[in-house]
Chain A
Amino acid sequence: MAYLEARGLGRDFPGVTALNDVDIDVESGRAHVLVGENGAGKSTFVKLVTGTDRPSRGQIRIDGKDAAEHPDLFRYIAYVPQELSLFPHMSVAENLLMPFHASGHRGLVRRRTLEAKTQSYLDRFGIAAKPSDLVRNISVPDQQLLQIARASTNTDMRVLILDEPTSALTPVEVERVFRVVRDFHERGIGVVFISHKMDEVFDIGDDYTVLRNGKKVDAGQLADVDEDRLIRAMSGQKLELGTMFRPKVPRGKPLLTVTGLSGRKFDDVSFTLDRGEILGFAGLVGSGRSEIMQTIFGFLKARGGRVSLDGADWPLGDTTKSVAGGMLYLSEERKHHGIFPHLSLRENIGLSITDLTNSPLGISAARERAAVDDIIKDYEIRTASREKKISFLSGGNQQKAIIGRAMAMTPKILIFDEPTKGIDVRTKAQIYKIMQGLAEQGIGIILVSSEMDELRKCASRIITMHSGRITGDFDSATADSEQLVGAIFATETEHV
């Protein structure tokens, strides 16, 4: 018998059914992969089975008992969210063992006791940090692993739900997570694994369930199916995965020239971006790519070096001037740098089209509605209404809104920083197509990505970085994969 069972589970929100008649069995000691596009109902499902939200219909059974009647059963279900939810100014040990009662810690909180307990977890999860380190000072992958470790300190845990645990990780670190998951299996713990990365799904998963528009559309054992079938089930249509999105028109004249730029986390960076080009930046998380882009954009301060656009000096350090000059940066941190959470979808988009909607009598509501509706349609943003708060939209739809908003500002240069992080396969293809179309219109595009596959598909040229320095410049069509990976890791092996 499955440890965690959902029977006919459903959840309605005003105007939409987020989840409908879903049956899922999570067996002890197996990995159950949950896949689906953004907005398919995965998050709703997680909320219901962790007890943070109540179902409108159906039943959740934990260890054979109805969880609605025994809500304390939810303590057996541990959940690691996709977003980091650690306490940055507290130590690794405090983060790991909180809440103290759940990790079996009684009485006064003594630093030495906490730190002694912590070390074994750090070893097991391969976290390269000291128990006394502040969390904000350890690397992002270590933070991600610490979050999983924290869930495992819950001595009651029987099922662990991992929501895209690898989106900020490189292959080496993904392997660390997988080792931990396999270790959980041996201890009889069932794992629910949510991911958009197909290779990982097949690597770690035993069973699978595909959700689409709130319904279960396919389920079974992964050994019996292939990638194509899952993707077809998720999207409801056949997608050409091998499609290339490199711009098909030849590159134009140089647009942006960066010379000897230095700043926080990077040194002496020089490169040129041509018109109509998609220039990819590959590297490990923390290799300084985002910092370079944010410095060029004026969000971070430069320490030295020059940037010029069309031969004229480009002002650094002022995002207002950058945007006015036609440069836009779309951050990977949607929540922190992208959306205005309390404002509606209309207001979020409306912010960047005030040139279009403003009049001597103020912003025209009718013109704004029309322009926003166009963007919702053009970018296929799925929402019950344009007046819905943007924070209620799924991640992929938020991302499409942000891209649509940026396009309305008719930029000359667009910098995409991990534009498809946490985004489903079909929306990914949509975003690639948008990038390709823009480049073919003569816009210069920089694509920062940690997915080599994405860079190979979209970029005309790939620059590799390591520890804040450029280590290579490759033609995407002819580059050798091993060379690329080598350039990303190269200097590291030299240092060791």
Chain B
Amino acid sequence: MSDLQKTAPGQGREASVMRALLQHPILGVLSVLVVIFVASALLSPYFLTPYNLSVVARGLAFVALVTIGQASLMILGELDLSLGTIGGLSGILTGMLMVNAGINPWLAIVIAISFGAVLGFINGILTTKLRLHSLVLTIGTAGIYGGAILVLTRGVAITGIPREIQFLGRGTLLGVPMPFIIMLVMLVLAAFLTIKTPFGRYMYAIGNNRDAARMLGIPVDRIRVLVFVMAGALSAMAGVLLVARLGTAQPSIGDAWVLGPIAAAVIGGVATTGGVGMIAGAIFGAGIIAIIENIIVLFGVSPYWQGIVSGAIVVIAISFDAISRQWLRKES
């Protein structure tokens, strides 16, 4: 080592702060989130009102739950396009059990979430045993699960969800919407799992290099199936909470949970190719999308423009990421 010369830092402090932010897995996206939050507060007097903030937080909670699952799968190098319809189908199931079958609503919720886990298990076991690409497989299972929603409901919402569970979707705790609190708990659990446990380390290893993970004796397929199960259960949880929020089980639940979570994860630094990024980053990404969508509404922009704007955010965010990586490479 003695022959190696240390190069002088050379660049200014701004550049090194900039580099630290860009290199850190989530600080970069977090600072973007903070900037957008502050800008929104400055741009619109309505943004910081408790009512508006709770609308944003509540709306974010559902899609964020699915994002936790999708981001976990993406770390593994998988992608599940059926998470939206798993959420929808589980929501319908919980509605039917409570309303049509008259089962205890709490039991109905447990059954629905377990059902989501089973649907995730089916995706996982088919992907691993048949050595399919999960993206391709779940195009198929998304069709099946989505079709089942229509068969069961004939396109009609199930109304009359019991009041006793509606607080899960509508209630607040210390002024914070319940779904948001539940999502935060799940986020903390998922962050702990991925960062601090061997299981989580193995997830990253598999996403980086599946063969090398097998060579190290990591139970690759078991971990992959378990994460599919986890993602299915989280999506079902989102579906159930949205049913509690709406007071009805709508066949359209989950429609927005297919591409949104993938976009959020990518903005948050989770690569679709696997092995990099953090769950918290993905949730910050979802937060960025939610705030921008909210500000569009506050400005009275036609809702027809929302798709274009949120699509543009994804493109800008990914371009920013690519450009900053090139900048880092040039700097070094």
Contacts and interface: CB of A to CB of B under 8 A. Distances in A.
B257 interface: no
Given A13-B332, A320-B217, A343 B275 contact: yes
A117 interface: no
B215 A329 contact: yes
B118 to A, nearest CB: 25
Given A13-B332, A15-B7, A351 B216 contact: yes
Interface stretch (A1-9, A357-365, A446-454, A457-465): A357-365
B253 to A, nearest CB: 35
Contacts of B208: 340-343
A340 B5 contact: no
A322 interface: yes
A16 B7 contact: yes
Contacts of A15: 6-7
Interface string B147-160: 00000000000000
A353 B332 CA distance: 32
Interface stretch (A199-207, A218-226, A331-339, A423-431): A331-339
* The 7 nearest A-B residue pairs measured at CB: A323-B217, A362-B196, A340-B208, A354-B198, A213-B3, A320-B219, A17-B5
A336 B217 contact: no
Chain A contact residues: helix, strand, loop or mixed = mixed
14 contacts: A14-B332, A15-B6, A16-B7, A297-B215, A299-B215, A319-B216, A319-B217, A320-B217, A328-B217, A337-B211, A351-B216, A362-B192, A363-B201, A382-B1
A340 B212 contact: yes
Nearest to B217: A323
Given A17-B4, A214-B4, A324-B217, A336 B197 contact: no
B125 interface: no
A361 B196 CA distance: 8
Interface string B189-216: 0001001111001101100110111111
A339 B1 CA distance: 24
A362 B191 CA distance: 11
A16 B4 contact: yes
Which among B216, B218, B219 has the highest number of chain A CB atoms within 10 Å?
Answer: B216
A440 to B, nearest CB: 25
B271 to A, nearest CB: 8
A340 B204 contact: yes
B111 interface: no
Contacts of A331: 215
B7 A340 contact: no
Interface string A315-330: 0000110111000110
A83 interface: no
A82 B213 CA distance: 24
B292 to A, nearest CB: 29
A329 B219 CA distance: 16
A215 interface: yes
B181 interface: no
Contact of A363 (B197, B204, B275): B197
A187 to B, nearest CB: 37
B22 interface: no
B276 interface: yes
Nearest to B215: A337
Interface in B164-205: 192, 195-198, 201-202, 204-205
Contact of A319 (B6, B215, B332): B215
Given A340-B205, A341-B208, A351-B201, A320 B4 contact: no
Interface residues of B, number: 29
Contacts of A323: 216-217
A76 B205 CA distance: 41
B205 A351 contact: yes
A299 B214 contact: yes
A34 B196 CA distance: 45
A319 B210 CA distance: 12
A399 interface: no
A14 B212 contact: no
Contacts of B213: 340
A382 B1 CA distance: 8
Nearest to B332: A14
Given A16-B7, A214-B3, A342-B275, A363 B211 contact: no
B5, B7, B196, B208 — most chain A CB neighbours (10 Å): B208
Nearest to B214: A319
A133 interface: no
Contacts of B196: 361-363
A17 B202 CA distance: 34
Given A320-B219, A347-B201, 7 more contacts: A17-B7, A20-B5, A336-B211, A342-B204, A347-B204, A362-B192, A382-B1
A358 B204 contact: no
Nearest to B331: A14
Nearest to B204: A343
B6 A351 contact: no
Given A324-B217, A351-B205, A339 B5 contact: no
A352 B202 CA distance: 10
A279 to B, nearest CB: 20
Contacts of A12: 7
A350 interface: yes
Contact of A337 (B5, B198, B212): B212
Contacts of A17: 4-5, 7
B20 to A, nearest CB: 12
Interface in B1-30: 1, 3-7
Interface in B210-252: 211-219
Contacts of B3: 212-215
